[in-house]
Structure formats: structure tokens, C-alpha cells
């Protein structure tokens, strides 16, 4: 029973006393139920509540343990009432005030518990909604990641664009070993076996040591522009190889970073990295007789390896041999002088050469600063 139900005396509801037997209680219940039953009182709105209270009282009195507890409570209440009669007015007021405070406290506590239950239910709903939103967000994020992955895979399948400097290599050589490499024509002749170069854009720098400017230069640097990236790749792979005439010559990419197209080819598994030769002590000769005059210049070092200790290089895909730098039109001259197209061409060549010179000077300054 609730607190409100316990305030009602079950004995009074059934019109019995504490000394009544179970049979008397049953008889009293049948008589009272016939009077307060909702079917007998259709116009009474309190009929259902009264009938429910009657049933609660009947069940309580038929339960021996609950009846004993009720009897003890009634005796304590009666004793308290007897004591209350003997109190003076001041004490009665104090007791009443204390009882009112206790009832108010119980009511407030009950209301607080209800509020906490409501808040707990609302918090659970918020948690459930947050959990649902997180799951939806995770699903959406997963879909986006899968879409990005598919896009990246599609992008990886497409070859990157060829940059203007992808066919340009930077060389550094010892002038004591190669005293003739002082002009673009000599350098173009050296790299002719790899492929066609743009002699007019080759930039050569012979600078004396910074700490001893009066001494002759010890090293030379140059930027060599090939017509095709495959030829530039072959030259880089043959860096420092004696049988290719590149002993004491370092050949690398401009800026120290290989072109994106090569990284893409390696990532696609169609281009490997050069492997070192099996032995460097054995004297070898170049198999130039295997290279036919009409063969494409895109041949890589594996076509010019030695017969005794062949150097192993990864093949450049034949499908990509035609990647080349944008060729500059040949100059057109006439008796009257240069036409507009030739003048524009000369300016383009001059601008390209100045850019390459700036790059080689910046690279040398960086090396000297280390």
C-alpha cells in the first residue's frame, strides 16, 4: 500500500475490530463490497477508488504478518495519541509542528525522487539519441573514407603530368678527371649515348673555391636538359659508372627529388630502382655493338651493360619512352634578319637559360653553406 493508503485504517474500512476473526473479516468484506462496487454505483466517480481501498484492506488483514505489523503500528499510534492528550498546549504545538515538518520532508523527498527519475529517464533518452547520432556519423564517415579511397585509387591509376624540369639532370664532376668539360658542347657530347639533349639550354658553372678565389676551380657543375625523361632516367642510373664514361661524375635530378612520373611508375610496379653492379674491380667494355643506329634513344642502361659483370638496372616502360620535354622550335633566319617567331623563341631560350643558371647557383650556394 502507498503512504496515502496506510493513513486509512483497514479495520474501519471493513467495520471490524482488532479482535475480529478471519471469518468475520470475510463476511464484512462481502457486505461492504456489495455496497461500494462500481457496478452498483455507476454515478459515483469515487466508487472505483473506494472499492480498490476495500480490497487492499481486505488483503492486508488476511495476511498474518502484515496484520501484526498493522496492529503494532495502531497501538503505537494510539499510545502516542494518549501521550499527546496529556501534553500542554505549547508541547502539543511543538509536536504538531514537528509532524508537519516530517510530512513535508517526506513529501519533498518523494517529489525529489520523482524528479530524479524523470531526469534519469530524460538523460537516458539523450544518451540513446547521442549514441544513434554517433553511429550515423560513423557510418557517414566510413562511406566518405571509402569514397576518398576509391578516388585516390582512381587518381593513382592516372599518370601525373610531366613537369618542365622532369627531363633536366644536374651533374657535378671533378675537373682533374674531366678537364674538357668546360662548355655545353662537350657535356652534350658526353651524354649523347643516353639520348638527345638541348645543347643551347645546358648551363655550365666553373666557380673557384669560395675560401680561395684565386685558385682554379676544382669541381664543375652543369644542368643538362634531355629531350625525353627516359634518357634522363638512364643518365641518372649510370651516375659514376666508369664504363659509361661517368667516372667521378655525379648525376642527379634537379632539386634532389626525382620526378613524380617516376615515383608513380615505381608505385605501379612497372619501374624498379637501379641495383649496384656485381663487382667493380673487373675491367669491362661497353657493348655498343648491340645498340643499333636506328634503335630509339630511350634505351636504358641495361642495354649497355658490360659482358663480364653486367650492371643491373630496372627497365623503363616502353609505353613511357615518349615522355619528353616540350621541344623548342628551331630558329628561322632570313636575309632581312629574324622574324617575330624567332625573336620570341630566342627570348624563351634566354629566359629558360637564366632560370637554370639561377637554380645551379642556388644549389652551389646551398652546398657551400653546409
- Report pLDDT digits (tens) over 184-225: 888 889 898 888 888 888 888 887 777 777 778 888 888 888
Distance CA 48, CA 54 (A): 10
203 with 330, same domain: the answer is: yes
What H or E segment, with its residue span, contains residue 171? strand 168-174
Under 8 Å between Cβ of 230 and 320 = yes
Burial status of residue 294 (CB atoms within 10 A of its CB: 0-12, 13-18, 19 or more): exposed
Residue 161 maps to a domain: no
Check which CATH number belongs to the domain holding 14 and give it. 1.10.287.110
Q: Is residue 2 pLDDT above 90, yes or no?
A: no
224 with 315, same domain: the answer is: yes
Residue 112 maps to a domain: no
Comparing 346 with 139, the larger pLDDT belongs to 139
Q: Is residue 307 pLDDT above 70, yes or no?
A: no
Lowest mean pLDDT among 32-41, 136-145, 351-360: 351-360
Over residues 55-81, the mean pLDDT reads: 90
Distance CA 362, CA 259 (A): 19
Under 8 Å between Cβ of 160 and 260 = yes
What pLDDT does residue 280 have?
Answer: 35
Q: Is residue 68 pLDDT above 90, yes or no?
A: yes
51 with 182, same domain: the answer is: no
175 with 65, same domain: the answer is: no
Distance CA 116, CA 135 (A): 28
Under 8 Å between Cβ of 205 and 221 = yes
Distance CA 123, CA 49 (A): 34
What pLDDT does residue 151 have?
Answer: 77
Q: Collapsing DSSP states into helix, strand and coil, what is residue 368?
A: helix
Residue 146 maps to a domain: no
Q: What is the pLDDT of residues 205-216, one digit of tens each?
A: 887 777 777 778
Residue 41 maps to a domain: yes
Q: Collapsing DSSP states into helix, strand and coil, what is residue 188?
A: helix
241 with 359, same domain: the answer is: yes
Over residues 135-156, the mean pLDDT reads: 83
Comparing 137 with 201, the larger pLDDT belongs to 137
Give the pLDDT band of residue 158 (cuts 50, 70, 90): low
Under 8 Å between Cβ of 181 and 220 = yes
| Residue 306 φ/ψ, nearest 5 degrees | -75, 160
Over residues 97-105, the mean pLDDT reads: 86
73 with 211, same domain: the answer is: no
What pLDDT does residue 340 have?
Answer: 52
322 with 182, same domain: the answer is: yes
Q: Is residue 361 pLDDT above 80, yes or no?
A: no
Q: Select from 86, 117, 147 the last residue of a domain.
A: 86
Range of the domain at 288: 168-369
Under 8 Å between Cβ of 268 and 320 = no
Q: How many domains does the chain have?
A: 2
Q: How many CB atoms lie within 10 A of CB 220?
A: 20
Q: Collapsing DSSP states into helix, strand and coil, what is residue 221?
A: strand
What pLDDT does residue 257 have?
Answer: 81
Residue 338 maps to a domain: yes
Distance CA 77, CA 263 (A): 95
Average pLDDT, the chain: 75
Q: Is residue 301 pLDDT above 70, yes or no?
A: no
Q: Select from 38, 71, 86 the last residue of a domain.
A: 86
User: Which residues are registered as beta bridge partners of 341?
Assistant: none
Lowest mean pLDDT among 251-260, 262-271, 305-314, 337-346: 305-314
Residue 150 maps to a domain: no
Under 8 Å between Cβ of 353 and 201 = yes
- Crossing angle for the helix pair 47-62 and 64-86, to the nearest 10 degrees: 100
Interior/surface letters 7-31, b for 16+ CB within 10 angstroms, e for the rest = eeebbebbebeeeeeeeebeebbee
Q: How many CA atoms lie within 13 A of 84 on its CB side?
A: 13
- Crossing angle for the helix pair 260-267 and 229-237, to the nearest 10 degrees: 80
Lowest mean pLDDT among 45-59, 91-105, 121-135, 301-315: 301-315
Under 8 Å between Cβ of 218 and 176 = yes
255 with 352, same domain: the answer is: yes
> What residues contact residue 48 under an 8 Å CB cut-off, 6+ apart?
38
Q: Is residue 229 pLDDT above 90, yes or no?
A: no
Lowest mean pLDDT among 12-21, 60-69, 274-283: 274-283
Under 8 Å between Cβ of 134 and 191 = no
Which is it for strands 249-253 and 337-338: parallel, antiparallel or unpaired? Answer: unpaired
In this prediction the pTM is 0.42
Q: Which of 226, 218, 217 is nearest to 327 (CA)?
A: 226
Distance CA 22, CA 72 (A): 18
Give the pLDDT band of residue 326 (cuts 50, 70, 90): very low
Q: What is the pLDDT of residues 165-177, one digit of tens each?
A: 888 888 988 888 8
What pLDDT does residue 106 have?
Answer: 86
Residue 113 maps to a domain: no
What pLDDT does residue 342 have?
Answer: 57
Give the pLDDT band of residue 296 (cuts 50, 70, 90): very low
Distance CA 224, CA 169 (A): 5
Over residues 302-316, the mean pLDDT reads: 39
What pLDDT does residue 52 have?
Answer: 92
Give the pLDDT band of residue 333 (cuts 50, 70, 90): very low
204 with 58, same domain: the answer is: no
Residue 124 maps to a domain: no
What pLDDT does residue 41 have?
Answer: 87
What pLDDT does residue 319 have?
Answer: 52
Q: Select from 86, 106, 136 the last residue of a domain.
A: 86
- The residue count of the chain comes to 370
Lowest mean pLDDT among 5-9, 51-55, 71-75, 360-364: 5-9
Over residues 74-99, the mean pLDDT reads: 79
Q: Is residue 59 pLDDT above 90, yes or no?
A: yes
Amino acid at each position: 500500500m502507498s503512504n496515502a493508503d496506510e493513513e486509512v485504517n483497514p479495520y474501519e474500512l471493513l467495520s471490524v475490530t482488532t479482535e475480529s476473526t478471519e471469518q468475520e473479516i470475510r463476511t464484512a468484506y462481502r457486505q461492504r463490497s456489495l455496497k461500494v462496487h462500481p457496478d452498483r454505483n455507476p454515478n459515483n466517480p469515487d466508487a472505483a477508488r473506494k472499492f480498490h481501498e476495500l480490497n487492499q484492506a481486505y488483503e492486508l488483514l488476511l495476511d498474518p504478518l502484515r496484520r501484526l505489523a498493522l496492529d503494532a503500528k495502531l497501538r503505537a499510534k494510539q499510545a502516542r495519541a494518549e501521550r499527546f492528550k496529556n501534553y500542554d498546549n505549547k508541547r502539543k504545538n511543538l509536536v504538531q509542528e514537528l509532524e508537519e515538518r516530517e510530512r513535508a520532508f517526506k513529501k519533498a523527498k518523494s517529489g525529489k525522487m520523482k524528479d530524479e527519475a524523470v531526469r534519469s529517464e530524460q538523460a537516458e533518452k539523450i544518451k540513446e539519441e547521442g549514441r544513434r547520432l554517433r553511429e550515423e556519423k560513423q557510418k557517414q564517415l566510413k562511406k566518405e573514407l571509402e569514397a576518398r579511397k576509391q578516388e585516390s585509387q582512381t587518381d593513382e591509376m592516372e599518370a601525373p603530368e610531366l613537369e618542365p624540369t622532369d627531363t633536366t639532370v644536374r651533374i657535378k664532376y671533378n675537373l682533374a678527371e674531366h678537364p674538357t668539360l668546360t662548355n655545353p658542347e662537350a657535356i652534350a657530347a658526353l651524354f649523347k649515348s643516353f639520348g638527345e639533349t638541348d645543347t643551347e639550354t645546358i648551363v655550365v658553372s666553373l666557380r673557384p673555391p669560395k675560401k680561395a678565389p684565386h685558385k682554379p676551380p676544382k669541381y664543375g657543375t652543369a644542368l643538362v636538359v634531355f629531350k625525353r625523361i627516359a634518357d634522363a632516367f638512364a643518365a641518372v642510373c649510370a651516375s659514376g659508372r666508369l664504363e659509361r664514361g661517368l667516372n667521378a661524375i655525379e648525376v642527379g635530378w634537379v632539386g634532389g627529388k626525382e620526378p613524380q612520373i617516376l615515383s608513380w611508375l615505381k608505385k605501379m610496379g612497372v619501374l624498379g630502382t637501379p641495383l649496384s653492379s656485381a663487382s667493380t674491380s673487373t675491367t669491362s667494355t661497353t657493348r655498343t655493338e648491340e645498340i643499333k643506329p636506328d634503335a630509339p634513344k630511350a634505351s636504358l642502361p641495361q642495354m649497355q651493360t658490360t659482358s663480364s659483370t653486367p650492371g643491373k638496372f630496372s627497365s623503363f616502360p616502353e609505353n613511357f619512352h615518349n615522355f619528353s620535354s616540350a621541344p623548342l622550335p628551331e630558329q628561322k633566319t632570313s636575309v632581312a634578319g629574324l622574324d617575330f617567331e624567332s625573336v620570341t623563341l630566342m627570348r624563351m631560350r634566354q629566359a629558360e637559360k637564366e632560370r637554370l643558371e639561377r637554380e645551379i647557383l642556388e644549389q652551389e650556394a646551398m652546398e657551400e653553406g653546409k
